Amino acid sequence: MGFDLFVIPFTAGLAFLLVWFLYKTVEWLSHLNRVDRTMLRRGVISSKTVRSVKEVILESLLHRKIFRTNPLLGYMHMSLAFGWFLLIVAGNVEAMIFKPATIHPPYYPIFFRFFEPEAAGFPGAKAFEFIMDFLLVFILSGVALALFKRIRSRALGMKKTTRLLWYDRLALYSLWCIFPFRLLAESITSGIYQTGGIVTGSLGNILAGLIPLQSFEYPAWWAYSLALGLFFVALPFSRYMHIPTEVVLIFLRNYGIHTRNSYSSYSEIEVYSCSRCGICIDPCPMSEAAGIQNIQSVYMIRNIRYKTPDEEVNDNCLMCGRCNIACPVGIVTTDLRAIARNERHLSGNLHLTIPATSSPHHDVIYFAGCMGQLTPAVTQSMETILQQAGEDYLFLDKEESICCGRPLALAGRIAEAKQLMEINRDKILSSGARTLVTSCPICYKVFREDYHLPINVMHHTQYLHRLLMQGRIRLRSQNISLAYHDPCELGRGSGIYEEPRQILRLAGNLLPTASEKEKSICCGGSLGNTVLNQKKRHAITEYSLESLTINNPDTIVTSCPLCKKTFAQRSDRPVLDIAEVVKSAIFRDKDNIRIRENYQIPAEEFSS
Amino acid sequence: MINWQFTLHPDHTINLDTNDRTLARLLEEKEPTSRICMACGSCGGTCTAAQFEPVSFRHILLMVRRGETESVRSELTKCMYCGKCTLVCPRGVNTRHILALLRTMLIN
Ligand code: SF4
Ligand code: SF4
Ligand code: SF4
Ligand code: SF4
């Protein structure tokens, strides 16, 4: 086994990287809070670990999710990650077969061709020559695509690609150099000794006719080792830190750990796991429709990582969550952004005296929300339906309505939001109701997640669905074509997709749209953004409408009063709330109309 | 006395030459729509907070533009950012942005 000075850059770089990553991992794990640590301990010895290993292979090596976004981009990531991984594995196996019974230093398999230029005759030598060459070409094809992407990203299905910082540049350029240098070094050595596989062997022969190989061999191996060493040293400070960190992220996520209300160890792991791939840029309606290119999650996360907070970036986001769905790493970017907003410590008091009132007893509370107040058609429809169903209900915020607190929380004013939440909570609980129905998805999300109410919280889509299921109201189908818009907070935010669709299929003819369910595009009205002006909002609204009207529906239906109001300003056709649709389709016994056979939703559709 | 359903304000001079309009100018820079308010009052009419105490976005903006900033401090801490005022404004004034900016600039 040999040693040569040129292995030092590689070996030192690798050692540095390993020590650094180990240090980081220990730091992260030891800073997990108590709850997270318990989850970690419980998770390790469960099937979740197996699941994590599988996910690491599928995502960190094969990059399956990127494949789904765009096959060519997926191939690029896979060839680099999986190809390199295989090259290391195959190199080690080769070295082991060639010299069994010795423990090799880590550089030996990497520079195998240099140390054993005439290695032949061991079992599978020919096959290894071929495999190593094949893998090298596989990786090089990925490098070529990466170069191409920098120049022309649209070809890889991305309209915008990320801007680079200098550490990234250093790491990127050294990464690009590694494999061409390896090809060169191996070819030169092969040329000298007349060995090598199809690629390195033939390239070696060609080079032999062009340059004096002997004098180029040593510098070529030095260059290869230097490129590797430089990449390893730059890695922890560059976006490539995502490679090792994503593995940790996958395990912890599978153990059930996630980002909560404050910046935790896990949040930091999420931040480091962002590869700055930029896949979150194109789905962002701010970028696509409003032409705002600097606020996307990739930049927001980069600011957190390099501690360069930018309020404008943090605030100018719709919090629509479209980037969460797109992110191949599975980073919940909106949670990180919410924390970044809170970090400003805009603590304060809401100096508003709201008289405490207790509510009379009723079974169901109906809460319209501020946006509901602005759409009387929605609240009136809900009241009609509630009466039709014979419900004993209380319209809690008919008078003296109070905001649910989520807009304040989204603006980073948690303390003030809590004040409102306390008042609303008392009002709700004092009525003794068992069910709270709200028309506004913004209220729904905060009631369900932050109020910790011991009663059943429902959005009106769920409630209407339940009324239909119980047969307390019946619908007659109308001859009208509908397109349904999933509000951000109800769809991506709360996972409610099926109930509204099942209801609408009963009431009319539901047409598909261009961006269904989790791909739904924000209406532009979002209260999560305090910065965006009306003009840009209109651009987003029109962009969303374009996707909704692709099949030319008679009416657009949504289930959020804010979406309804926002769309109505720009739409060329009626925009209704699902409550209005249900109200107008309700079948009363005195209506002498033939109703469709399946006026009730079949029971099996409710099993979920 | 006859109740005319309105009262007269006491004498009050607004001297735009001596009032300090720095804040108003800064605001115009950061949110140009602060210039296009036509003082219709729709925002105050719909305001969630106004059900409990006298709060009006129209009043806040008017005072800031006149340079009478002090009088709006307390009003700013009553807003819930509910967004009703933005939705009803016929002029497209970005009310929540203005409220948030003023709040951070004047209080925190
Ligand atoms: S947040 Fe996700 S999608 Fe966006 S750059 Fe980071 S890894 Fe890529
Ligand atoms: S949450 Fe929506 S608006 Fe904000 S960055 Fe993500 S996609 Fe863009
Ligand atoms: S609604 Fe708009 S235009 Fe009218 S007073 Fe308020 S901000 Fe001004
Ligand atoms: S955002 Fe503030 S000022 Fe505007 S309506 Fe709501 S509480 Fe009133």
Q: Do A593 and A485 share a domain, yes or no?
A: yes
Q: Give the CATH number, domain containing residue A453.
A: 3.40.50
Check residue A41 and report its DSSP letter.
H
Q: How far is the CA of A516 from the centre of ligand 2 (A)?
A: 17
B9 assigned to some structural domain: no
B12 assigned to some structural domain: no
What is the token pair recorded at A92?
């080690």
Rounded CA gap, A377 and A561, in Å?
10
pLDDT tens digits along A117-170: 887 777 788 888 899 999 999 999 999 998 888 877 666 656 655 656 778 889
pLDDT at A155: 61
Mean pLDDT by 10 residues, chain A (608 residues): 88 96 95 91 91 92 89 92 94 89 87 86 84 94 90 64 73 93 94 88 90 90 96 93 95 92 92 92 93 94 91 93 95 94 80 84 94 95 94 92 94 91 92 95 96 96 95 90 96 96 94 95 96 94 96 96 96 96 83 47 46
Q: Do A175 and A321 share a domain, yes or no?
A: no
Using the 3D structure, point to which of A415, A448, A466 is the last residue of a domain. Answer: A466
Q: Do A121 and A226 share a domain, yes or no?
A: yes
Q: Do A451 and A374 share a domain, yes or no?
A: yes
CA-based angle A548:A549:A555, to the nearest 5?
95
Beta A555-558 vs A481-484: how paired, if at all?
Answer: parallel
B3 assigned to some structural domain: no
Residue A184 burial (10 A CB sphere; 0-12, 13-18, 19+): buried
Rounded CA gap, A371 and A494, in Å?
18
pLDDT at A343: 83
Compute the nearest-CA separation of B52 from chain A (Å): 6
Which residues does residue A549 pair with via DSSP β-bridges, in sequence order?
A: none
Q: Give the CATH number, domain containing residue B44.
A: 1.10.1060.10
Q: Do A532 and A579 share a domain, yes or no?
A: yes
Residues A483/A398, Cβ–Cβ less than 8 Å? no
Place of tokens 């008091």: A349
Cα end-to-end span (Å), chain A:
63
Q: Which atom of ligand 4 is nearest to the CA of B43?
A: 5
Rounded CA gap, A346 and A344, in Å?
6
- Chain B CA closest to residue A569: B87
Ligand 1 close to Cβ of residue A301 (< 6 A): yes
Q: Which atom of ligand 4 is nearest to the CA of B81?
A: 1
Which residue, judged by its Cα, is nearest atom 4 of ligand 4?
Answer: B85
Q: Which of B31, B77, B94 sits opposite A349 (nearest CB)?
A: B77
pLDDT at A590: 60
Q: How far is the CA of A352 from the centre of ligand 4 (A)?
A: 12
Contacts for A209 with CB less than 8 Å, ≥ 6 apart? none
pLDDT tens digits along A501-553: 999 999 999 999 999 999 999 999 999 999 999 999 999 999 999 999 999 99
* Domain that residue A80 falls in: 16-31+47-154+169-243
B43 assigned to some structural domain: yes
A8 assigned to some structural domain: no
Rounded CA gap, A522 and A537, in Å?
10
Torsion of CA A17, A22, A27, A33, to 10 degrees: 130
B15 assigned to some structural domain: no
Helical packing angle, A297-305 and A333-342, nearest 10°: 50
B14 assigned to some structural domain: no
DSSP for A337-386 reads HHHHHHTT--------------PPP-SEEEE-HHHHHT-HHHHHHHHHHH
Interface of B with A in 8-27 (CB under 8 A): none
B8 assigned to some structural domain: no
Rounded CA gap, A365 and A395, in Å?
6
How many domains is chain B partitioned into structurally?
Answer: 1
Cα end-to-end span (Å), chain B:
46
Cα–Cα distances (Å) from B88 to A572, B82, B83, B91, in that order, read 20, 12, 9, 9
B46 assigned to some structural domain: yes
pLDDT at A525: 95
pLDDT at A478: 87
CB atoms near residue B10 (< 10 Å): 5
Residues A574/A550, Cβ–Cβ less than 8 Å? no
CB atoms near residue A226 (< 10 Å): 19
Three-class DSSP category at A492: coil
Q: Give the CATH number, domain containing residue A336.
A: 1.10.1060.10
Q: pLDDT (tens digit, 0 to 9) for every residue of chain B, 108 residues total? A: 677 777 777 777 778 788 888 899 999 999 999 999 999 999 999 999 999 998 999 999 999 999 888 888 888 999 999 999 999 999 999 999 999 999 988 887
**Chain B environment of A410 (Cβ under 8 Å):** 81
Single out the residue of A560, A374, A599 nearest to residue A467, CA to CA.
A599
Three-class DSSP category at A516: coil
Ligand 1 close to Cβ of residue A297 (< 6 A): yes
pLDDT tens digits along A275-325: 988 899 999 999 989 999 999 999 999 999 988 888 889 999 999 999 999
Q: Which of A402, A413, A531 sits opposite B97 (nearest CB)?
A: A531
Contacts for A389 with CB less than 8 Å, ≥ 6 apart? A467, A472, A473
pLDDT at A161: 57
Residue type, A84: W
Residue type, B33: T
* Domain that residue B94 falls in: 22-106
Q: Do A479 and A579 share a domain, yes or no?
A: yes
Using the 3D structure, point to which of A466, A489, A520 is the last residue of a domain. Answer: A466
A239 assigned to some structural domain: yes
A307 assigned to some structural domain: yes
What is the token pair recorded at B9?
């304000």
Q: Do A491 and A375 share a domain, yes or no?
A: no
Q: How far is the CA of A419 from the centre of ligand 3 (A)?
A: 28
Per residue, the 3-state secondary structure of A399-467, as one string, reads CCCCCCCHHHHHCCCHHHHHHHHHHHHHHHHHCCCCEEEECCHHHHHHHHHHCCCCCEEEEHHHHHHHH
Q: Do A329 and A384 share a domain, yes or no?
A: no
Contacts for A239 with CB less than 8 Å, ≥ 6 apart? A168, A171, A274, A275, A276
Q: Do A534 and A420 share a domain, yes or no?
A: no
